[in-house]
């Protein structure tokens, strides 16, 4: 992996989500989709055309949407409850807690256009608190796939395994990173690049940016490990401890506030098991200004060059 | 089962509930007394449920959305055979599965974990939708408090149930006119409830929620209307059956002292004779 990541071919993970859901729906008529009027933004038009009875649109009513999902699960269905992530997780958080997590209902929550995918629409439409909110709840794996391959694998895993989960999907194009045929396993990270001087841990739309930063560092003789940590909970403790002990420094990158997200989850493991210097990149606890998702990620220090600069700064602290 | 037999069961449930609240030193006795006749009719007359197969896919479902009256549900489930009657004595004790609010993963017969208000009806809508998709004949019942209807999520669910034509869904509003701190009318008045729900496309019936004949009739499948969910506004009294608790806001979750406990038990005993 010495060449820069190919970014000329970018894919919207929502397409992988819906095509996988349609294929699963063909094979199992208990698979249903529930949405809050978001047929278009969740790209569920094809699913509706194929299975008109099995797209349950409750209208603009997120609390009801999540409760209905829990009831469908009680009745033997496997509901994929889809909505814009800020509204699904923010508006219906108590339903997610009581009806889904605490009740251990077989509900697959799908946060669409998460992170800052809605860019210019502003902070009301950004979902940069959802890792923190959902990972605070027992029983709900929190999954942010890095590309369309991992998205498809995670959707397949969700359908095949009883219990709740939260899939956090962006609409921002990302290149393919994982090998074809990748199998998703909760709590299992993927090492995208080997390295011994420092480790970058990222997920979602940040994974390819981290890989590009690693290449920039390699050009300057710094060997950088890159880990794709799709699962924020359960988190891959072994992989984090290995990164801490073998590389001695960890830099996290996430499309989320740095309060309570991926960086915090990694830091918890590092502090408990193998303290090393760390830095957490993300949204620094502010409501973002106007701009596209990619502009905002650059603005908050997560362009490949900026990530590389943060890694160099971290290396100086390694001593 | 005859109304007279149902009244006897409800009386037993009230006494066991009162004793458990007295012994545990906690509970929501006012709302438990108001909901007991409804629970009794559902479990001993209307619903098809089997304690030996609590997860039978074809079972009827009850969601107790007013989850704070969990004890009344536990006593009913025990009487029906879902849990041992002896277990009621563990109510609220450390590590008891009989928590202050019902938990489906621990207590057989409980369908979803309730507690925060305004959750049960949306879940019940999802259940009824699942049965509709399958073409199954099982029915879904949900009991809310009247104060609970102040939660906006209920009205989201009411709209959806009408849109989906869920005629297998029955909402029972335990209309005891009191919420935790005051009269519903003095807090955020819902009146008139029935025409409001009717205006949302539901069939609505108002009954005396302590009259077994009326309850059983209102819950019978032949009194539903094709293509419409049904709402039963059950006029009840908080603290029903115990004179000093009846319609008294102080008894939302007050615990009787020994004298009050004895008087309550005595009144319930006499009610049968």
CATH code of the domain covering residue A218: 3.40.50.920
> Please, are residues A128 and A256 in contact by the beta-carbon 8 Å criterion?
yes
Give, for A318, the enclosing helix (H) or strand (E). helix A304-318
Tokens encoding A306: 């900026």
Single out the residue of B236, B244, B241 nearest to residue B206, CA to CA.
B236
Q: Which residues of A touch B158 (CB under 8 A)?
A: none
Q: How many helices (H) and strands (E) does chain B have?
A: 9, 5
Same domain, A51 and A96: yes
Judge whether A277 and A249 are in contact, CB under 8 Å.
Answer: yes
Q: Please check whether residue B152 touches A, CB under 8 A.
A: yes
Maximum C-alpha span of chain A: 62
Residue from the list B133, B140, B160 with its beta carbon closest to the beta carbon of A61: B160
Would the CB atoms of B152 and A63 count as touching at under 8 Å? yes
Q: Which residue of A has its CA nearest to B157?
A: A64
Whole-number CA gyration radius for chain B: 17
Domain boundary among A135, A168, A201: A168
Rounded to a whole number of angstroms, the distance from the CA of A111 to the nearest CA of chain B is 20
Helix, strand, coil percentages (3-state) for chain A, rounded to 5, are: 45, 20, 35
Cis omega (within 30 of 0) on the bond before A234?
Answer: yes
Identify whether residues A164 and A206 lie together within a single domain: no
Give the minimum alpha-carbon distance from A58 to chain B in angstroms, rounded to a whole number. Answer: 6
From the candidates A22, A26, A62, A94, give the one annotated as an active-site residue.
Answer: A62
Q: Which residues of A touch B (CB under 8 A)?
A: 32, 53-54, 56, 58-59, 61, 63-77, 79, 94-95, 98-99, 102-105
Instruction: Examine residue A7 and state whether it is found in any structural domain, yes or no.
Output: no
Which residues of B are less than 8 Å from A95 in CB distance? 119, 122, 153
Q: Is residue A17 in some structural domain?
A: yes
Residue A8 lies in a domain: no
Report yes or no: B241 and B268 within 8 Å, Cβ to Cβ: yes
Is the separation of the CB atoms in B204 and B231 below 8 Å?
A: yes
Contacts for A280 with CB less than 8 Å, ≥ 6 apart: A251, A252, A254, A258, A263, A264, A266, A267
Q: What is the pLDDT along chain A (319 residues), one digit of tens a residue?
A: 445 566 679 999 999 999 999 999 999 999 999 999 999 989 999 999 999 999 999 999 999 999 999 999 999 999 999 999 999 999 999 999 999 999 999 999 999 999 999 999 999 999 999 999 999 999 999 999 999 999 999 999 999 999 999 999 999 999 999 999 999 999 999 999 999 999 999 999 999 999 999 999 999 999 999 999 999 999 999 999 999 999 999 999 999 999 999 999 999 999 999 999 999 999 999 999 999 999 999 999 999 999 999 999 999 998 7
Q: Which residues of B touch A64 (CB under 8 A)?
A: 122, 125, 153, 156-157, 160
Cα B160 to Cα B202: distance, rounded to the nearest angstrom: 11
Residue A129 exposure: Cα atoms within 13 Å on the Cβ side: 16
User: Does A133 share its domain with A215?
Assistant: no
- A36 φ, ψ (degrees, to nearest 5): -110, 60
Instruction: Compute the nearest-CA separation of A35 from chain B (Å).
Output: 12
pLDDT computed for residue A6 by the predictor: 63
Residue A183 forms part of a structural domain: no
- Are A197 and A88 contained in the same domain? no
Contact B133 A54 (CB under 8 A): yes
Residues of chain B with pLDDT under 70: none
- Return phi, psi of residue A38, to 5°: -90, 40
Beta bridge partners of B205: B232
Does some domain include residue A148?
yes
Enumerate the residues of chain B whose CB falls inside 8 A of the CB of residue A75: 126-127, 129-131, 133-134
Specify the pLDDT at position A1: 42
How is residue B191 written in tokens?
């009146």
In a domain, A70, yes or no: yes
- Same domain, yes or no: A34 and A91: yes
What is the spatial distance between Cα B165 and Cα B202, in angstroms, rounded to a whole number? Answer: 9
Which residue(s) pair with A115 in the sheet? A127
N- to C-terminal Cα separation, chain A = 28
Contact A68 B126 (CB under 8 A): yes
Nearest C-alpha neighbor of A117 from the set A167, A172, A169 = A172
Task: Check A68 against B133: CB less than 8 A apart.
Answer: no
Nearest-Cα residue of chain B relative to residue A74 = B127
CB contacts of A58 in chain B (<8 Å) are: 156, 160
Reduce the DSSP state of residue A143 to 3 states and report it: strand
> How distant is the alpha carbon of residue B225 from its chain centre?
22
Number of domains in chain A: 2
Same domain, residue pair A161 and A221? no
Is A62 part of the annotated catalytic residue set?
Answer: yes
Q: Beta strand pairing status for B140-145 and B230-235?
A: unpaired
Over residues B119-146, the pLDDT tens digits come to 999 999 999 999 999 999 999 999 999 9
pLDDT recorded at residue B109: 98
Q: Which of B105, B115, B153 has its CB closest to that of A67?
A: B153
In this structure, are A128 and A237 located in the same domain?
no
Per-residue confidence (pLDDT) for residue A7, from 0 to 100: 63
- Secondary structure (3-state) at B167: coil
Same domain for A26 and A143, yes or no, is yes
Q: Is residue A185 part of a domain?
A: no
Structure tokens at B47: 């619903």
Task: Provide the chain B residues 7-66 that lie in CB contact (below 8 A) with chain A.
Answer: 57, 61
Listed in sequence order, the DSSP H helices in B55-181 are: 70-80, 120-134, 152-163
The upper half-sphere exposure of residue A28, i.e. CA atoms within 13 Å in the direction of its Cβ, equals 14
What residues are paired with A279 via a beta bridge?
A: A251
Domain of A113, CATH number, reads 3.40.50.970
Query: Does A138 lie in the same domain as A82?
Result: yes
- What are B27's two structure tokens? 């509970």
Query: Quick one: B188 exposed, middle or buried, by C-beta within 10 A (0-12, 13-18, 19+)?
Result: exposed
Q: Which residue has the tokens 């079972």?
A: B59
On whether ipTM exceeds 0.90, the answer is yes
Q: Which residue has the tokens 């502009």?
A: A295
Of A53, A98, A102, the CB nearest to B133: A53
CB atoms near residue A238 (< 10 Å): 13
Tell me whether residues B119 and A98 touch, CB distance under 8 A.
yes
Beta-carbon separation of A99 and B156 below 8 A: no
Render pLDDT for B20-55 as a digit per residue (tens, 0 to 9).
Answer: 999 999 999 999 999 999 999 999 999 999 999 999
Which residues span the domain enclosing A287? 190-318
* Residue of chain B nearest A103, judged by CA positions: B113
**Which residues in B lie closer than 8 A to residue A67 (C-beta atoms)?**
119, 121-123, 125-126, 153, 157
Judge whether A119 lies within some domain: yes
User: Which chain B residue is nearest to residue A63, measuring alpha carbons?
Assistant: B153
Q: Are residues A297 and A197 in the same domain?
A: yes
The class (CATH top level) of B3-272 is: alpha beta
Phi–psi pair at A233, nearest 5 degrees? -150, 130
Distance in Å, alpha carbon of B1 to nearest chain A alpha carbon: 28
- CB contacts of B61 in chain A (<8 Å) are 74
**Nearest alpha-carbon partner for A116 in A150, A93, A86, A87:** A86
């Amino acid at each position: 992996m010495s060449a820069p990541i190919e970014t000329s071919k970018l894919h919207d993970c929502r397409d992988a989500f819906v095509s996988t859901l349609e294929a699963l729906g063909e094979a199992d008529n208990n698979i249903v989709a529930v949405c809050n009027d978001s047929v278009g933004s969740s790209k569920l038009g094809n699913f509706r055309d194929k299975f008109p009875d099995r797209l349950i649109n409750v209208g603009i009513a997120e609390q009801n949407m999540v409760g209905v999902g829990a009831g469908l699960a009680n009745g033997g269905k496997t509901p994929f409850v889809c909505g814009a992530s800020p509204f699904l997780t923010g508006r219906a958080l108590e339903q997610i807690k009581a009806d889904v997590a605490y009740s251990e209902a077989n509900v697959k929550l799908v946060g669409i256009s998460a992170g800052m995918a809605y860019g210019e629409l502003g902070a009301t439409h950004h979902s940069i608190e959802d890792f923190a909110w959902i990972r605070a709840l027992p029983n709900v794996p929190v999954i942010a796939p890095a590309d369309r391959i991992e998205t498809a694998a995670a959707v397949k895993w969700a359908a095949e395994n009883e219990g709740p989960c939260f899939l956090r999907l962006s609409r921002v194009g990302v290149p393919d990173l994982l090998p074809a045929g990748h199998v998703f396993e909760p709590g299992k990270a993927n090492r995208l690049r080997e390295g011994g001087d420092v480790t970058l841990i990222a997920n979602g739309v940040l994974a390819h940016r981290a890989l590009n930063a690693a290449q920039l560092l390699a050009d300057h003789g710094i060997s950088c490990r890159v880990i794709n940590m799709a699962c924020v909970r359960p988190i891959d403790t072994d992989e984090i401890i290995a990164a801490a002990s073998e590389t001695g420094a960890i830099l996290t990158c996430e499309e989320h506030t740095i309060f309570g997200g991926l960086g915090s989850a990694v830091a918890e493991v590092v502090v408990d098991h193998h303290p090393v210097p760390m830095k957490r990149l993300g949204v620094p606890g502010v409501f973002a200004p106007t701009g596209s998702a990619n502009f905002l990620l650059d603005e908050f220090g997560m362009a490949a060059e900026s990530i590389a600069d943060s890694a160099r700064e971290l290396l100086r602290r390694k001593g | 089962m005859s109304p007279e037999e149902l009244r006897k069961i409800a009386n037993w449930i009230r006494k066991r509930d009162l004793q458990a609240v007295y012994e545990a030193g906690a509970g929501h006795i006012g709302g438990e007394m108001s909901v007991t006749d409804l629970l009794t009719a559902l479990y001993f007359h209307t619903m098809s449920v089997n304690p030996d197969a609590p997860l039978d896919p074809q079972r009827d479902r009850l969601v107790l959305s007013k989850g704070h009256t969990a004890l009344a549900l536990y006593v009913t489930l025990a009487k029906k055979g879902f849990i041992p009657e002896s277990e009621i004595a563990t109510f609220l004790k450390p590590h008891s599965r009989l928590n202050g609010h019902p938990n489906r993963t621990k207590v057989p017969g409980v369908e979803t974990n309730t507690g925060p208000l305004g959750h049960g009806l949306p879940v019940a809508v999802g259940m009824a939708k699942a049965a509709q998709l399958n073409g199954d004949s099982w029915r879904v019942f949900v009991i809310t408090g009247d104060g609970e209807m102040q939660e906006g999520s209920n009205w989201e669910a009411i709209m959806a149930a009408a849109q989906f034509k869920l005629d297998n869904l029955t909402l029972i509003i335990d209309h005891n006119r009191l919420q935790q701190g005051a009269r519903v009318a003095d807090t955020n008045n819902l009146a008139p409830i029935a025409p409001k729900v009717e205006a949302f496309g539901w069939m609505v019936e108002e009954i005396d929620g302590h009259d077994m004949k009326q309850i059983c009739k209102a819950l019978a499948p032949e009194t539903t209307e094709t293509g419409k969910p049904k709402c039963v506004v059950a006029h009840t009294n908080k603290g029903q059956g115990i004179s000093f608790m009846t319609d008294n806001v102080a008894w939302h979750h007050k615990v009787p002292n020994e004298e009050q406990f004895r008087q309550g038990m005595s009144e319930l005993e006499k009610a049968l004779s």
